[in-house]
Chain A
Amino acid sequence: MIILELFLAFFRIGLFTFGGGYAMIPLIKSEVISHGWAETEDIINFIAVSESTPGPFAINMATFIGSTTGGVPGAAAATLGVVLPSFLVILLVSRVYDRFKKSRVVKGAMQGLRPAVVGMILSALISLGFEVFKSGEYGGIMPSVIGVLIFSVMIILALKKKSPILIILISGAVGIISGYALGM
């Protein structure tokens, strides 16, 4: 039954993700974490893995969570679930392509959807931030301080359009060095 649940959860994620990629994060949080299929920490770790492996973020995420939750059948069900809504919607839209492009209703909906997606990613970022920057199992204030430092420097690199993989590599290296230095 977990296979069917994975399929349905990722079908919903695929159907309500507008803008692709990071726009999925709020939905992943609500569908995956609420089912107990992954912890917040796993999701953030996996965003890094997904940025460093080829292919669309959504597919990577679905395959990964499907696989860790339900093995190969789980991975297949979750991936099929996330792909199917886009596939079907585009098949329909390609018939009414020109009307869709000019549709006032679609344009109007996007005026509301774009800011909504921004707002929801903002809320996800805030709650993920609390999770990442709390010192947790390591104790003391130093882990939080270093975490905030890494975050701040990486924002500068990201705004300078440095590649996500470079940002992940540097953050990982700083994590290793400070981990051993602090004896966490």
Chain B
Amino acid sequence: MGDAVRKDKELFLTFAKIGLFTFGGGYAMIPIMERETVENKKWISGEELLDIIVIAESTPGPIAINAATFIGKKVGGFFGAVCATLGVVLPSFFIILAVSYFFEAFREIKVVRYAFWGIRAGVLALILKALYSMFKKCPQDILSYAIILLSAAVVLIFNVNVIIVIVACAFIGIISSALRREAK
């Protein structure tokens, strides 16, 4: 019993550290996650971490949460999963809670307004960069390009709900890959 509690605490603290020292989240988290869970704690192997990343990419939600839940479950069962997930969530939660009060208080100051006016243009560049990295991970064929253009168009021009687009495109992917297998 004492052993299990110690393990849960260790999971919480390790993932709190991971959450606290990554900026931007997602893939920025992988190197530190590898150092902590593979090299230091030896909870999983490097290969398992790669598997987890692949699974995280094909399941919904933030990759950080997916990885924390998965590793926590493997090391400490259900409560391990809860502790690891809480660990990765809580530091951001408290930091952002504090930031949100400051943000409200400072946003009307002239110099802050000017700064954010410039920053918004810079953020668009960051989004474009993310868009480019995600584009490179898409299948590079006609169907994929057609899905990109059509889903952009239906959302932008016809205001179709993004959840409908996501579900529809998942089905298109399933059907088209089944048809390709038939054709072979």
A interface with B by C-beta (< 8 Å): 12, 14-23, 25-27, 29-30, 41, 44-60, 63-64, 67-68, 72, 75-76, 79, 82-83, 85-87, 89-91, 93-94, 97, 100-101, 104-129, 132-133, 143, 146-148, 150-151, 154-155, 157-159, 164-165, 167-168, 170-176, 178-180, 184
| Given contacts A83-B61, A114-B138, A18 and B96 within 8 Å (CB-CB) | no
Chain A residues in 8 Å Cβ range of B148: 115-116, 118-119, 122
Q: Apart from A86-B65, A120-B162, A179-B114, list 12 A-B contacts with CB within 8 A.
A: A26-B155, A30-B162, A46-B103, A68-B100, A83-B85, A90-B55, A108-B174, A112-B176, A115-B151, A151-B121, A158-B129, A164-B24
Using CB atoms, name the residue of chain A closest to B118.
Answer: A175
A112 touches B169 (CB 8 A): yes
A53 touches B96 (CB 8 A): yes
B13 CB-CB contact with A under 8 Å:
no
Least Cβ–Cβ distance between A33 and chain B, in angstroms: 12
A172 touches B119 (CB 8 A): yes
B134 touches A19 (CB 8 A): yes
Most buried by B among A17, A76, A116, A124: A116
A53 touches B89 (CB 8 A): no
| Given contacts A51-B24, A79-B93, A91-B69, A115 and B122 within 8 Å (CB-CB) | no
Question: Chain B interface secondary structure, helix, strand, loop or mixed?
Answer: helix
Most buried by B among A123, A167, A170: A123
A105–B145 Cα gap in the complex (Å)?
21
A101–B51 Cα gap in the complex (Å)?
8
Question: Chain A interface secondary structure, helix, strand, loop or mixed?
Answer: helix
A167 touches B125 (CB 8 A): yes
Chain B residues in 8 Å Cβ range of A101: 51, 54-55
Q: Restricting to B31-68, which residues have a CB under 8 Å from any CB of A?
A: 51, 54-66
Chain B residues in 8 Å Cβ range of A18: 57-60, 166
Least Cβ–Cβ distance between B100 and chain A, in angstroms: 4
17 interchain pairs, CB-CB under 8 A: A12-B163, A30-B162, A54-B22, A55-B19, A55-B88, A56-B19, A56-B88, A56-B92, A90-B73, A116-B170, A125-B127, A150-B122, A151-B121, A154-B126, A159-B132, A171-B123, A175-B115
Using CB atoms, name the residue of chain A closest to B171.
Answer: A112
Least Cβ–Cβ distance between B181 and chain A, in angstroms: 8
Using CB atoms, name the residue of chain B closest to A111.
Answer: B173
A154–B65 Cα gap in the complex (Å)?
30
A56 touches B65 (CB 8 A): yes
Least Cβ–Cβ distance between B174 and chain A, in angstroms: 4
Using CB atoms, name the residue of chain B closest to A15.
Answer: B60
B9 CB-CB contact with A under 8 Å:
no
A116 contact from B100, B145, B151, Cβ within 8 A = B151
B97 touches A63 (CB 8 A): yes
B123 contact from A20, A76, A111, A168, Cβ within 8 A = A168
A148–B165 Cα gap in the complex (Å)?
30
A20 touches B62 (CB 8 A): yes
A19–B165 Cα gap in the complex (Å)?
15
Chain A residues in 8 Å Cβ range of B101: 67
A59 contact from B93, B161, B168, Cβ within 8 A = B93
B151 touches A87 (CB 8 A): no
B119 touches A175 (CB 8 A): yes
Least Cβ–Cβ distance between A12 and chain B, in angstroms: 7
B62 touches A58 (CB 8 A): yes
